[in-house]
Amino acid sequence: MFKRILIANRGEIAVRILRACRELEVETVAVYSTADAGALHVQFATQAVCVGPARAAGSYLNQEALITAALAAGCDAIHPGYGFLSENPAFADLCEANGLKFIGPSGAVIRQMGNKAAARALMQRHGVPVVPGSDGPVPDAKTAAALAEQIGYPVLVKASAGGGGRGMRRVDRPEDLPALFDAARSEAEACFGDGEVYIEKLILNPRHIEFQILADGHGNVIHLGERDCSIQRRNQKLMEETPSKALDADLRARMGAAAVAAARAAGYRNAGTIEFVLSAEGEFYFIEMNTRIQVEHPITECVTGVDLVREQIRIAAGLPLQAAQEDIVQSGHAIECRINAEDPRNGFQPCPGKIGFLHFPGGPGVRVDSALFSGCTLSPYYDSLCAKLIVHAPTRLEALRKLRRALEELVIEGCPTTADLCYLICYHPDFMMGRYDTSFLERHMEELLAWDPDARK
């Protein structure tokens, strides 16, 4: 096992990783920007090093500073968390070149899966179903138009390097294609420094179903079931649950097998996620692989009892998986709400500021992953996710009731958050029935915001 791990991240995920390290009795080195000197992850770590200014480019994305800090502190591994450098193949390579274990897959695997067009092609070669679309990147709008004609409208123009819903455009009519093709391309160029795009058929009103996988360095690959992440705004997840109401045992087994095949095709090692869209007709298609721990990993931990971050660290240390596929049983039901410091009534505008009084819910089956504390400051420089509320109960109905109760207990003073919207969703008949797809939030947003949650009392 490692002696000392540097955590190249901040916020709730840094705290989550620190907790796993403490339980494994591994020492920790936190890094922070000048804006984060008082942050919780800095206080939790064995030691902490300032790696640069508030702007992430100079600190949490500063590869040289991170490697220097890790070497100076005598670390033997780096955990990247999610976001920042977690899916940066050059950073994974740089860690290894400096004798530091990167807790994640190899640079080569990240590179391969990070290009979504290339990942699609690889999956196709290995019999994993992909959304009908182009064979690899599309060079210009004219080629795109010809392809779209074959595939049938509506189509999606997607950035190969895309992430976080950016560099993606829906095209409904041929006459709109040239402008939207260019828009996707320039957004991809601006956000990712890579304008390569490809085309996929738009699956109408699908569910977003993803499978958690674990792969060790001894040839073992398992999946830990699905997460239904269909409650999204602008292609970004807001609430996730497992198991999904859309899957029966047969479909789960087929999708799980496809996810394991996908991980094997990639030569994958560590924790990863295979994302699929599931059509209303029950057909599933690979859309991308995420080569890191994900925000929504706790719901999988709740129902399987597997500590995914601990497994990540163990795998990177060369240890074999502790569970075989037949040991993985989904027990009960778990739901997560992402609590972002954003105003849902104002286009989800981020609302940084100082947190006043804070109270987190508790009791059986309630988990809060957060780096907030009373009086802390939410910096405008970073992601607006400030807490994750996760509930676990024997049945979906009990989990839903528990979530409502937990959201009623939660108090975050000082900024608007997405918690109120999550609470309203908990009372929407379609959500209650589990009848929703990725269009749910957009379709019901006005109706949800018009509700007065107190009026039902």
Please tell me whether residue 294 binds ligand ADP under the rule CB under 6 A: no
- 306-309, long-range: CB < 8 A, 24+ apart: 306/214, 306/224, 307/20, 307/23, 308/212, 308/214, 308/224, 308/271, 309/16, 309/17, 309/19, 309/20, 309/79
β 333-340/236-242 pair status: antiparallel
The single-letter DSSP state of residue 415 is S
Smallest distance from the beta carbon of 326 to ligand ADP, in angstroms? 30
What SS3 state is found at 180?
Answer: helix
**Of 207, 292, 314, 367, catalytic:** 292
CA 53 to chain centre: 26
53, 129, 136, 163: residue in contact with ligand ADP (rule CB under 6 A): 163
The single-letter DSSP state of residue 412 is E
Looking at residues 174 to 213 of the shown chain, list those that interact with ligand ADP (rule: CB under 6 A): 200, 202-203, 206, 208
244-283 footprint of ligand ADP as x/- string (CB under 6 A): -------------------------------x-x------
Smallest distance from the beta carbon of 275 to ligand ADP, in angstroms? 5
Q: How many residues bind ligand ADP (CB under 6 A)?
A: 20
Smallest distance from the beta carbon of 132 to ligand ADP, in angstroms? 9
The single-letter DSSP state of residue 321 is P
Give the tokens for residue 336: 């997560």
Smallest distance from the beta carbon of 204 to ligand ADP, in angstroms? 7
Closest among 445, 424, 425 to 435, alpha carbons compared: 425
User: E-assigned strands of 66-119?
Assistant: 77-79, 101-102
Cα separation, 140 vs 138, in Å, equals 6
Smallest distance from the beta carbon of 142 to ligand ADP, in angstroms? 22
**Part in contact with ligand ADP (CB under 6 A); list of ranges 11-19, 77-85, 165-173, 377-385:** 165-173
Please tell me whether residue 439 binds ligand ADP under the rule CB under 6 A: no
Please tell me whether residue 288 binds ligand ADP under the rule CB under 6 A: yes
Q: How far apart are the first and last CA of the chain?
A: 54
38, 164, 174, 363: residue in contact with ligand ADP (rule CB under 6 A): 164
**Cα distances (Å, whole numbers) of residue 259 to 134, 211, 322:** 22, 6, 19
The single-letter DSSP state of residue 24 is T
Of 208 and 392, CB closest to ligand ADP = 208
Q: Is 292 a known active-site residue? A: yes
Of 164 and 282, CB closest to ligand ADP = 164
Please tell me whether residue 336 binds ligand ADP under the rule CB under 6 A: no
Cα separation, 140 vs 142, in Å, equals 5
131, 171, 274, 441: residue in contact with ligand ADP (rule CB under 6 A): 131
Of 187 and 420, CB closest to ligand ADP = 187
Cα separation, 15 vs 44, in Å, equals 7
Contact 167, 187 (CB under 8 A): yes
Of 328 and 422, CB closest to ligand ADP = 422
Helical segments of 266-295, H only? none
**Part in contact with ligand ADP (CB under 6 A); list of ranges 107-115, 157-165, 259-267, 358-366:** 157-165
Smallest distance from the beta carbon of 92 to ligand ADP, in angstroms? 19
Please tell me whether residue 152 binds ligand ADP under the rule CB under 6 A: no
Give the tokens for residue 109: 């695997």
The alpha-carbon radius of gyration of the chain (Å, integer) is 21
Please tell me whether residue 287 binds ligand ADP under the rule CB under 6 A: yes
160, 232, 291, 340: residue in contact with ligand ADP (rule CB under 6 A): 232
The binding site for ligand ADP (CB under 6 A) comprises 131, 156, 162-166, 168, 200, 202-203, 206, 208, 232, 235, 275, 277, 287-288, 438
Q: Show which residues are catalytic.
A: 292
